[in-house]
Structure 1
């Protein structure tokens, strides 16, 4: 008996294949029913092994002034990109593996300016970082956020207030890593 199906004796391979096909079809049908009813979440294939390092760090290549709400902040000077999840041309991190991630971004405003940015996960605002140097000559603001991501989910930083400015581009950065 093989997998609950009686084994057919002799050269009757057609009967054995037919039994196997029926079993496989019933199994696939049961799995699809479980997905449809929500008992099992669809699994996306991980492009990375669980132990592989995912980490990136990038900074701005120039100052940004008079930013518009919804404008993506592109940290285009790439320091590290283990796992190849960060795209320095678009400013978007795409999770190459599922897991819990830590994201940190630092923004520097100078000369009585302000900056309001947010971490965006799949198009939804997750955390805000507001920097206001109106009463000081230089203000550095850093925000850290923990996010659980599935493979392929996207994360970026964007401006959330018109007129925001990031002046010290060498000190302004975006980094993330998987725990």
Structure 2
């Protein structure tokens, strides 16, 4: 149906070019106007149906663009201890990577499409330890996260932040305090997605 919209536009042009001959004058003009109104309503209904069914994602002027889904989720494959400040935390077990932006070997997410992104990372500190990490965007701290279990035996912490990014920007999680520790690797993860 959506492919027929161009044919409908062609038909509209033909209706408008019909001459006002005696055969189309008088009552015929009223009939043609009525048919035009019906056709216009059907055409608008077809366009709305295409949008509703998701055949057309976004329309700007005469160009149509499709917004690709970008999302990733990765987790640690082992516990980490005595992490130094400035050391990148590499979440190397990749569970999802739509858009192929996340590199599990380096722990770096390279933005494949510009937009507003949501990032979430969780870490677990046990045995009276702590971990202080930050979301780094192009080498600069964006959001800091501290998980402190020095007064308890187990502490699970999650941080969420929203960032506007351009293609090629690089995002990762980095330790920002010496001797940080992430003990329960099965519950520690890093995820992000474009809104």
Give the TM interval when normalised to the shorter protein: 0.7 to 0.9
Instruction: Show the counterpart of 2:177.
Output: 161
The residue matched to 2:186 in structure 1 has which SS?
Answer: coil
Alignment of structure 1 residues 98-177 onto 2, 5 Å? 98-177=114-193
Alignment of structure 1 residues 1-179 onto 2, 5 Å? 51-179=67-195
Q: Which has the higher helix share?
A: 2
Q: Deviations over 1:107-162 (max 9, x none)?
A: 10000000000000000000001000011111011000000000000000000000
1-structure distance, mates of 2:127, 2:97: 32
Q: In structure 1, list runs of 5 or more residues that go unmatched.
A: 1-48
2-structure distance, mates of 1:66, 1:136: 19
2-structure distance, mates of 1:94, 1:54: 11
The residue matched to 2:184 in structure 1 has which SS?
Answer: coil
1-structure distance, mates of 2:66, 2:149: 42
Q: In structure 2, list runs of 5 or more residues that go unmatched.
A: 1-64
Of structures 1 and 2, the larger Rg is shown by: 2
Contact 1:72 1:158 in 2 (8 A): yes
Q: What TM-score, normalized to structure 1?
A: 0.72
2-structure distance, mates of 1:50, 1:171: 35
Aligned length, in residue pairs? 131
Q: What TM-score, normalized to structure 2?
A: 0.66
Identify if the C-alpha distance between structure 1 residues 145 and 129 changes in structure 2 by more than 3 Å, giving closer, same or farther. Answer: same
Q: CA RMSD in A?
A: 0.8
Following TM superposition, the consecutive aligned residue runs of length 4 or more in structure 1 with deviations greater than 2 angstroms are none
Structure with larger RCO (C-alpha < 8 A, sep 6+) = 1
